[in-house]
Amino acid sequence: MRDIHEARVLVVEDDPTLLGQLTELLEREGYRSVRGAGTVADALLTVATWQPQLLLLDVMLPDGNGFDLLRRVRETSDAPALFLSARDEDASRLRGLGLGADDYVAKPFLPAELLLRLAAVLRRSYNLPDALPAIALGEAEVD
């Protein structure tokens, strides 16, 4: 991978509306290979068959939780992972980071902040150049 936008990104989120918004946000930002999953089972199948290079994980899922999902993914993959969750208490954040997540973002979140965090994790994990993508914030652009 020469560019963060080449990364295969798996978004695991049980809310179909938010899953669609996250997928659209990433694609609009230039990520060329984004897939979504709404359950632990779908996520595990996608990890096994598609081998994502970045995981964006919700904590609360209908058939389990993101913590257990990350633990199972870690058996076969060391892809970077970020939790994106409504659970913002210290214990939840510490648990996620303790399991090896690279970051933990609380909902609600600023889309621009999420994009910057994803880019930073990808650059660090895959030794990519420090050039940041330009991010639009209303009429202003951060680059």
Residues 48-77 have a mean pLDDT of 97
Cite the DSSP H helix spans in the chain. Answer: 16-28, 40-50, 66-73, 90-98, 111-126
CATH fold of 4-142, please? Answer: Rossmann fold (3.40.50)
Please, which residues have CB within 8 angstroms of residue 63's CB and are 6 or more apart in sequence? 39, 40, 41
Structure confidence by residue, pLDDT tens digits, 1-31: 789 999 999 999 999 999 999 999 999 999 9
SS3 140: strand
Q: CA 119 to CA 5: how far, in whole Å?
A: 9
Residue pair 67/97 in contact (Cβ under 8 Å)? The answer is no
Structure confidence by residue, pLDDT tens digits, 74-113: 999 999 999 999 887 899 999 999 999 999 999 999 999 9
Q: How confident is the model at residue 131, as a pLDDT?
A: 55
E strand or H helix at 105: strand 103-106
Please, which residues have CB within 8 angstroms of residue 110's CB and are 6 or more apart in sequence? none
What is the pLDDT confidence band of residue 32, given thresholds at 50, 70 and 90?
very high
Q: How confident is the model at residue 143, as a pLDDT?
A: 59
The β-bridge relationship of strands 140-142 and 135-137 is: antiparallel
